[in-house]
Structure 1
Amino acid sequence: MLTAAQRATMIPSSPPSQARLLLAPVRASRAILDGGWWPRSWDPVAELPGLVLALSERYGRIRNVILTNGVWDSRFRQIAVGTDVVRVGWFASLDTALLIATNVSGDQLDLLVVPPDSTATAAEQAMTTAADPTNTMRAPDMLTAGTAPPSPTTGTDPYAVWDNEGGNTATRRPHHRPTNVQSRQVE
C-alpha cells in the first residue's frame, strides 16, 4: 500500500537538468532499445523531469514512465514536469538497466539506464550501443557485457524470472552495489 506522500504528485524544487541521453536516429523495428540514459543520481525527482522533457521534444508528450523499485531513492505515483503530470510506475520485476516510457500516442520507448556511478567512457560506450538501430542486445546484457560497470543488481544468482522485453526467462541478479568500481562525474 502506498503512503499519502507516495500518492501525492511530486513537484521538483529545482529546474530540470539536461538529460544525458542518446537516442537512436530512427526507431528500428529490430532494435530492442531506443537509446540510453545516464542519470546523475538515483534520485527520480531530480532526474526524471529532464529526461521527460528531452523525450517529449522528440516523441511527443510523455504520459508514463516505468522504473524498477530496487535502486531509486524514492517512490511516488506522479511527477510534475512543466505543465504536465507524468504517471510513474514501479515494478520489482523490471531490470534496473531498463526504463520504459510511453507517449500520449501509446508508443513505447525502451531506454538503457546506465548507472550514475559509471565512468564517462563506459557510459558513452553503453549509450552509443543502446542507440544503435542495429543493436539487438538487451539492456541488462549490455551492462554485464562490459560496456559499463554493473548495475546494483548485477550478480550471479541464477533464479529464473520473467523477462520484461519479450517474455523469455531471464536471470535474476541479487541486490548488491559493487565496491570496486571507480567513478567520476562528467557534466
Structure 2
Amino acid sequence: MTTTTAPRDRMPLASLSPPLLPRLRMEPTGSSRTLLDGGWWPRSTDPVTELPGLVLAVDNLRGPVTRLILSAGGWDTHPRLLGVAGRVLRLGYFTSQPLSLLTAICANRSRVDLLVVPPDTTPAAAGAAMILAATATNLIHAQHIPLTLSAPPPPAAAAEDAWEDEGGHLAGSRLAPLRRQAIR
C-alpha cells in the first residue's frame, strides 16, 4: 500500500508495509570486474512494494543506495522518488534499460547491476537465472540469461565432432581409433 499527499514528482512514495525480504543472490566477492553483480526475483511489478527490501539488502552488501535505474517497461507505476529507511532515493525509468536489468548507484559511487527475473518465473528457472547472474565468470548479459537457460543444450556428439575436426582427439572418441590407424 502506498501513500502520497503531493504530486508524484515532488513527494517520495513509501510503502506502509515493512520491506519484503528480497529474493536476491549476489556475487560473493564483490568484484568490480563482473558483468552482473547478482540476480533479483521480485514477487510483483509494484516498485513501491518491491524496491525497499532490495535497497536495504544492497545497502548491507555494497553501501547505501542513492539511485536506481530501471526499465520503463515492466513496472506498474513509475514513482520518481522513493522513501526507504528515512532517506529518499531517486528512481529513473528508461526505455533503453533492458527489462531484465536494474542498476543501483551507491553513495560510494559504485554501481550494482542486477538481473531482474520476472515475478511469474518458475522457482527452478528463477533460481538457475540468479545463480548464473551471481557467478563471477558469467559472460552473459542480463537480457540474454532467460534465453540461454531456456535453450536446449547442444548435443554432446556434435560438440565432440567439432573438436575432432580441429585436429585433436578425445580418449574414447569414436574417431580416435581411426586417427591412430592413419598414423601407423
TM-score (norm 2): 0.76
Matched letter for residue 126 of structure 1: A
The aligned counterpart of 2:112 is: 109
Larger radius of gyration: 2
Displacement over 3 Å in runs of 4+? none
SS state at 2:8 partner: helix
The aligned counterpart of 1:33 is: 36
The aligned counterpart of 1:129 is: 132
The aligned counterpart of 2:175 is: none
Provide, for residues 31-86 of structure 1, a one-character-per-residue CA deviation record: whole Å limited to 9, x for no partner. Answer: 21000000000000000000000000111110001101111000111111111211
Distance in 2 between the 1:27 and 1:60 partners? 11
SS state at 1:89 partner: strand
CA-atom RMSD, angstroms? 1.6
Contact 1:30–1:136, Cα closer than 8 Å, also in 2: no
Distance 1:76 1:56, change over 3 A: same
- Percent of paired sites with the same residue: 44
| Structure 2 gaps, min length 5 | 1-5, 152-184
Contact 2:8–2:80, Cα closer than 8 Å, also in 1: no
- Bigger helix fraction: 2
The aligned counterpart of 2:148 is: 145
SS state at 2:50 partner: helix
Tell me by how many angstroms 1:27 deviates: 2.7
Is 1:8 matched with 2:17? no
The farther-off stretch of 15-24 and 75-84 is: 75-84
Distance in 1 between the 2:139 and 2:8 partners? 39
| Structure 1 gaps, min length 5 | 149-187
Number of matched pairs: 146
The aligned counterpart of 2:100 is: 97
